[in-house]
Structures are given as structure tokens and as C-alpha cells.
Amino acid sequence: MSCNCNSKSDFSLLEPCLAEYGSVKGSLITILQKAQEIYGYLPTDVILHISKRTGVKVTKIMGVATFYSQFRLEPVGKYLIMLCQGTACHVNGSQQIEKTVNEYLGIKDGETTEDGLFTLKNVACLGCCSLSPVMMINDETYGSLTPEKAVEIFDELKKRAGEENL
């Protein structure tokens, strides 16, 4: 994990959440989820700030952040590819799709492309088993995947990102 304790996150963005949940016991996971929604991941300075504001010890926060697979301690690319590793997807060829991501985008599980566009994360069952193999990219679900279809989707997203930058 790269040290980013010198970076400054804008804590004011988290204030509404902390005002609502900061003193409600048992709200740690909710606060962390909101923080990740805002910052894209859980920066160290944000974790320290949450500890200060809620009184929950940093060790406990880190324990929770590292326990649940939803939480990220590193930033991710613009498009987070969540590749389903459920049973039905496995039986219907998710390994081939993973290979396609490895070869076409050049990234393995947990890695981000050099241009910061794509991050690959293998995830547990997404619950769209009849469309296996399935992947979710940000909030969109793509099913009935083939290596060719996956490549088409990545190309389309690359194009979209390029257009947004113009």
C-alpha cells in the first residue's frame, strides 16, 4: 500500500454523513461506505479523520476496512471491472473472460491499466447466474459474455472516455 499521508482529502464532503452517523453506534460500515462513494476509495487521511470524529480506534477501522471485500485502500481506474467468479459463471467460462482481460488490457486481478482507465477485480457471485458469464463495470451489468463481446465492451468504454476528455 503506497504511503499517501501527505495527500489532503476534502473532509467537508464527508461532513453531512458524519453529522448524521458519527455518534450513532454501529455505523462504522455505513460511514466507510459513504466515504468510499465520495473519494472512490478509503484514503489514509480520511480513515484518520473518521477515527478522530467518531472515536473509533484506527485499528478497528482498518480491521473492518480490510475484512470486507467492498472496501478499497487504493484508488481504482475510471472503470472498475467486477468479474463474477460464481459457480454458474465458472461453469460457463468465466476463466476465459478473465484471460481476455489479462491479455487485452494487460492487467491481473487487483491491477489497474497504465492509463488509469480499467481496474480488474474478481468478485464473488453477482446473482445474475442465468446470464453467465457476467461482469459489472461500475453500475452496469454485462451478461452472456464471450471474449469477443468483452473486447467490444472495453473498446466502447475507451472510446467513451476519450470523448469525455475532449
Partner 1 sequence: MRIAVGQGSCGIAAGAVKAYNVFENNLNLAENELTVTGCIGMCYLEPIVDVYDGDCLHRFVRVGEDAAKRIADAVNRRDFSDTADIEISDEDRSFLEKQTRIALRHCGIINPEKIEDYIADDGYKALAKVLNTMSTEQVIDEIKLSGLAGRGGAGFPTWFKWNAARQSEGDCKYLICNADEGDPGAFMDRAVIESDPHNLIEGMLIAAYAIGASEAVVYVRAEYPLAIKRLEKAIGEARRKGFIGNNIMGSGFSCEMRIKAGAGAFVCGEETALIESLEGSRGMPRLKPPFPAQSGYWRKPSNINNVETFANVSWIILNGGSAFSAMGTENSKGTKVFALTGKIKRGGLVEIPMGQTLRHVIFDIGGGIKNGKEFKAVQMGGPSGGCIPAELLDTVIDYKALSATGAIMGSGGMVVMDSDTCMVEMARFFLDFTAKESCGKCVHCRLGTKRMLEILTRITEGNGKEEDIDLLRELCLAVKDGALCGLGQTAPNPVLTTLKYFENEYIGHIRDKQCAAHECTALLRYEINSDACRGCTLCAKKCPVNAIAGTVKNPHIIDADKCIKCGNCKSVCRFGAVEVK
What is the smallest separation between the CB atom of 123 and partner 1, expressed in angstroms?
7
Consecutive H or E run containing 58: helix 58-67
Rule CB under 8 A: is residue 73 a binding residue for partner 1?
no
Q: Binding to partner 1 (CB under 8 A): which residues in 22-41?
A: 25-30, 32-33
Binding mask 91-110 for partner 1 (x = CB under 8 A): xx------------------
- Specify the stretch interacting with partner 1 by CB under 8 A; choose among 4-12, 38-46, 107-115, 134-142: 134-142
Does 80 sit near partner 1 (CB under 8 A)?
no
Q: Does 63 bind partner 1 (CB under 8 A)?
A: yes
For position 75 contacting partner 1 by CB under 8 A, the verdict is no
For residues 22 and 34, the answer to whether their CB atoms sit within 8 Å is: no
Q: Does 9 bind partner 1 (CB under 8 A)?
A: no
Q: Which residues, including other chains, have CB under 8 Å from residue 112's CB and lie 6 or more apart?
A: 75, 76, 77, 118, 119
Select from 7, 23, 130, 146 the one that contacts partner 1 (CB under 8 A). 130
Residue 133 preceded by cis peptide, ω within 30: yes
CA–chain centroid gap for 68, Å, is 12
Nearest-angstrom CA–CA distance, 147 and 140: 18
**Stretch of 45-53, 68-76, 111-119, 157-165 contacting partner 1, by CB under 8 A:** 68-76
Q: Give the three cell numbers for residue 89.
A: 459463471
8-state DSSP, 96 = H
Cα 101 to Cα 7, 106, 129: the distances in Å are 31, 7, 20
Does position 72 interact with partner 1 (CB under 8 A)? The reply is no
Which residues of this protein are in contact with partner 1, per CB under 8 A? 25-30, 32-33, 56, 60, 63-64, 67-71, 85-92, 123-132, 134, 139-144
